[in-house]
Structure 1
Amino acid sequence: MAASVGLEMRQRDVIINSRRALGAAEFARERGRFDAMHHALFNAHWAGTGKLEDVDDLVRIGAGVGVETDELRAAITEDRYAAVIDENRRAASSAGIDAIPAHIFGRRYLVMGAQPYDVLKQVVDRLTSPE
């Protein structure tokens, strides 16, 4: 399915600890580069071009999206965004989220797990149709 839309996606044999990648993403968010970092992290993971738990790989990915690498390295190694990450996990748990990916639409609908396009489209259609 991924190849049909031009995405390279390799099956991963291990479960990763994404905490460092989450910290790198928060670092990028503060600098207005979250979307670019988010996409670069996903691409690195699924294409097999970077390990999301490896500081050097995260710094390389960050450099590719234009964030300052020395500051990024320090933020990751110091776990500078621990409080933000922990709060996001608490909020997700409180909202009943226990699977990834999870999408919240309009603060009304929660769709968990990998879902087909048609499922997501139904939710958007429901939110945008006049009642």
Structure 2
Amino acid sequence: MKVEVWSDIVCPWCYIGKRRLENALAGFEHAGEVEVEWRSFQLDPEYPRGAGRPVYSHLAEKTGGSVEQVRAMTDRVKALAAEEGLAYDFERSIVVNTFDAHRLTHLAKAHGLGGQLHERLMRANLIEGERVDDADTLVRLAEEVGVPAAEAHRVLAGDEYAKDVEADIREAHLLGANGVPFFVLDRKYGVAGAQPVEAFETALRTAYQAA
């Protein structure tokens, strides 16, 4: 059985959804027969490449609210993340264009490390305050999970895997996803958003029985 997950690296709900899926799989008796594949998506594809802004300032401008209002709004997300063992640090998180980071996840996928790099990049951005559009940072993070540094440098210096990222995003829209996280089980069942663990458990059982 295959679970495809469309997700963006800077998306706090995506990381929460990732943990909830993993928790559901941990209690699923057929988890060994489930393949999870991470797909690319950009929440804000128009965000300028090379630009970076603190998340509170970015959200305040986007919503028209104050930084204090945004901080209060994101406290709920932080609390939900904490329940999943994720210590979000929005004070340090930087909003960036994630296209190059996603290109690198496709290189990692070619090495069988797509899930590992997706996890590492999310942690870097949402918890550690790293800029996941900086080439040297991306190479270092990729190398940490086993992606050869020379290959990562080569990919980031050109446009390799750009079409793969674009194809993932296009496919998500064709499947009806306007946001992420978006989970598709065996191309038959969809779970939109960071649903409770129970919802993933039900979806896994349903898809497995159908398969």
**TM-score by structure 1 length?**
0.85
Q: Which has the higher contact order (CA 8 A, sep 6+)?
A: 2
Give the structure 2 partner of residue 55 of structure 1. Answer: 135
| Equivalent in the alignment of 1:73 | 153
> What 5-or-longer segments of structure 2 have no aligned partner?
1-79
Tell me, what secondary structure is at the counterpart of 1:29? Answer: helix
1:7 aligns with 2:79: no
Sort the Cα spacing of 1:14 and 1:64 in 2 relative to 1 into closer, same or farther, 3 A. Answer: closer
- 1:27-64 CA-to-partner distances (Å, cap 9, x unmatched) read 11112222221211111122134222221211110121
Q: CA RMSD in A?
A: 2.1
DSSP-derived class of the 1:103 partner: strand
Contact 2:89 2:129 in 1 (8 A): no
CA distance in 2, matches of 1:14, 1:68: 26
Match of 1:43 among 111, 123, 129: 123
Structure 2 residue 112 is the aligned partner of structure 1 residue 28: no
Higher strand share: 2
Q: Relative to structure 1, is the Cα distance of residues 11 and 49 closer, same or farther in structure 2, using a 3 angstrom cutoff?
A: closer
Aligned residues: 130
Q: Structure 1 regions of 5+ residues with no counterpart? A: none
Paired residue secondary structure (1:8): coil
Query: What is the letter of the counterpart of residue 8 of structure 1?
Result: A
Query: Using the alignment, how far apart are the partners of 2:164 and 2:207 within structure 1?
Result: 29
Superposed CA offset, 1:76-103 (max 9, x none): 1212111111111111111111111100
- Alpha-carbon offset, residue 19 of structure 1: 0.7
Q: Does 1:83 align with 2:163?
A: yes
For residue 23 of structure 1, report the CA deviation from its aligned partner. Answer: 0.8
Secondary structure of the 2:96 match is: coil
The equivalent residue for 2:193 is: 113
CA distance in structure 2 between the partners assigned to 1:16 and 1:115 by the alignment: 26
Match of 1:18 in 2: 98
How far, CA to CA, are the matches of 1:11 and 1:114 in structure 2? 19
Residues 128 and 30 (structure 1), Cα distance of their counterparts in 2 relative to 1, 3 Å cut = closer
Cα displacement (A) at 1:74: 1.8
Distance in 2 between residues matched to 1:11 and 1:122, nearest whole Å: 32
Change (3 A) 1:33 1:129: closer
SS in 2 for 1:2: helix
How many percent identity over aligned positions?
26
